[in-house]
Chain A
Amino acid sequence: MITPLYAQSLLREGAVMAAVAVALIGLPWFLTAIGGYSELATPIVLWGIFALGFDILIGFTGLLSFGHAAFWGLGSYAAGLMLLRVTDGFIPAVLVGTLVGAVASLLLGYLTLRRRGIYFSILTLAFAEMFYYAALSPLQQWTGGDNGLTGIPPADLCGIAMKGEAIYYVIAVTAFIGIYVARRIMRSPYGLILRAIKSNETRVASTGIDTRRYKLMAFVISGVYAGLAGSLSAVYQTYVPTDALHWTTSGQVVMMAVIGGVGTLFGPMIGAGIVLYLANVLSGVTAQWLLIQGLIFMGFVIFLPGGVVDAGRRLALLLSRRPAPTDKRAAGTVSVHPAQAE
């Protein structure tokens, strides 16, 4: 678990970010090597950005939103409309898409965070569905209705058309920055306070902290990541399907986070990779791949509730050392008498 209290050495942080860079650059080749295809890398990294921001909400703050399709979808439509009607510039389109995601999450967060637990989840779901149906029919002049937003021209970044390999590297750089920012947020006072809200909200409030404003910030931060990822996906696909706003998009990101391991930042990104890889590889093998995907998801929740990252951590622990005597004490009940401690 990332803790802000003990500063990481610059060397270690540098090593982690270097590993991230290597992974992002190597992903297309790695996918080819394991029987996928290199173009799959782009949607994996896109969804990885979405899932990374989502983890700040679900993994650290403990809020399960079923409405994040709204921010991904609104970001997509906004960026798509920018490219269609305003400019072919990549940066303005993505900025506007991200901003729309941020504003929408501020509004929705403000309304939904009045309730907790399952009521919060249902409210987010209901609001996101409203956007879906609004896009489908009353706003179809703008959104293209059932057909989605089609015919988006390729965006232009400093004279380079955003498609193929070029857009992969732009998205990879965005993901790299997104990872760095998320790690910094988790090492700021927010890292402590958001985890504390997940752990015991009553105590946080009785400790002088306005929990609603911090929860709203977590919601907006995740909304910004969703809006950014959604905008990038509109640029990449040159098309926005109505599915972008559908609740299955919200469900997909929850599934990615859980499979990868919530509360680890990298976990949900790995989860995005696993889900999309399986979807693409399995759909080539059998028509029943959704059934198999469901079974895999169930298997993770039942047998590996900490996700892939936790499984890897446990495996590493098992291989690297036998339980030392100090571990036993840390795992058992500790009682301190002041006479001994002083």
Chain B
Amino acid sequence: MALLEVRNVSKHFAGLRALDDVSLSIAPGTIHAIIGPNGAGKSTLLNVLTGLIVPDTGSVVFDGQSLLGLPAYDINQRGIARVFQTPEIFPDMSLVENVAIAAVAARDGSYRANFFQHPRALQPVREKAESILADIGLGAYLNTEARHLSRGDKRRLELAVCLAHQPRLLLLDEPTAGMSHHETHSTAELLRRLSRNGMTKVIIEHDMDVVFSLSDRITVLHQGRIIADGPPDEIRGNPTVQEAYLGGAHL
């Protein structure tokens, strides 16, 4: 059974068809890439999945339950985390605090009236945050304010924040954008490692090396429509994709 099932989703913005009858199915434990030229509707699709946008029609079912109309925090608590296109972090808080907030949300749920809880109860949260940061390669900067990080490291920090929840589905919006060659390589390596632990991922990516080496399945969006959907080898040889995506150049 699919972990996430998107059926006939459409969204129009003042005459623009951002998503046009999009259906796709994400199998558990896979890395599913969504590619397509700028403006194809990739980020809009992620916004629908995370509850930031409610589609005009269609359904989104995660693990047997509909996500439509749920607030963003509820969708996150059900196991879907997202790394945004521009890093969404807490710039004036330290790295360990950034991750600790997610660890608190994982521990306490969306709300708890524990405003008088003793600080000692936060020690396990801090240790969890520290170990996640060490694991992702930011362990040397636990008490640095997040705004001092480079763009690539901010993205990694956001990934660490997402991982603190141990999500079942991780959505990554261009995780390697703005990264050096070396950073891209190590991020791809990290994503591969996470997949071995069974975490399902949807990834929007422009770096075709990353897409074809990493993903189990690729969906191609063009002007809000799905024009191809299949395993990497099939997509690589698909003439429609080559026409739409690269104006005829070979992938």
Which A residues have a C-beta under 8 Å from some C-beta of B? 3-8, 181, 184-185, 187-190, 192-193, 195-196, 199-200, 202-211, 213-214, 217, 221, 330-339, 341-342
Contacts and interface: CB of A to CB of B under 8 A. Distances in A.
Closest 4 CB pairs of A and B: A338-B137, A208-B76, A335-B150, A199-B90
Given A332-B148, A336-B153, A200 B115 contact: no
A341 B137 contact: yes
Contacts of B114: 188-190
Contact of A189 (B72, B76, B117): B117
A333 B154 CA distance: 11
Kindly name the residue among B72, B77, B125 whose own CB sees the greatest number of chain A CB atoms within 10 A. B72
Contact of A199 (B91, B112, B139, B144): B91
B175 to A, nearest CB: 14
Contacts of A337: 137, 182-183, 186
22 contacts: A4-B119, A5-B100, A7-B123, A190-B115, A193-B104, A196-B101, A199-B91, A200-B91, A205-B72, A205-B76, A206-B50, A206-B72, A207-B73, A207-B81, A208-B102, A208-B165, A209-B73, A210-B111, A213-B111, A217-B113, A330-B148, A336-B149
Contacts of A208: 73, 76-77, 102, 105-106, 109-110, 165
Interface of B: 50, 71-73, 76-77, 81-82, 84, 88-94, 96-97, 100-102, 104-106, 108-120, 122-123, 125-126, 129, 136-141, 144, 148-150, 152-153, 158, 161, 165, 182-183, 186
A218 to B, nearest CB: 9
Contact of B139 (A4, A7, A341): A341
A189 B104 contact: yes
B150 A334 contact: yes
B101 A207 contact: yes
B102 A4 contact: no
Kindly name the residue among B97, B101, B186 whose own CB sees the greatest number of chain A CB atoms within 10 A. B101
Contacts of B149: 333-336
A196 B105 CA distance: 12
B171 to A, nearest CB: 10
A189 B101 CA distance: 8
A205 B71 contact: yes
A341 B190 CA distance: 14
A195 B120 CA distance: 19
Contacts of A7: 119-120, 123
A333 B148 CA distance: 5
Contacts of A200: 88-91
Given A5-B100, A206-B50, A334-B144, A342 B137 contact: yes
Given A192-B122, A213-B110, 5 more contacts: A199-B92, A206-B76, A207-B73, A331-B148, A341-B138
Contact of B116 (A185, A192, A341): A185
B238 to A, nearest CB: 34
Kindly name the residue among A202, A217, A221, A335 whose own CB sees the greatest number of chain B CB atoms within 10 A. A335
A338 B82 CA distance: 22
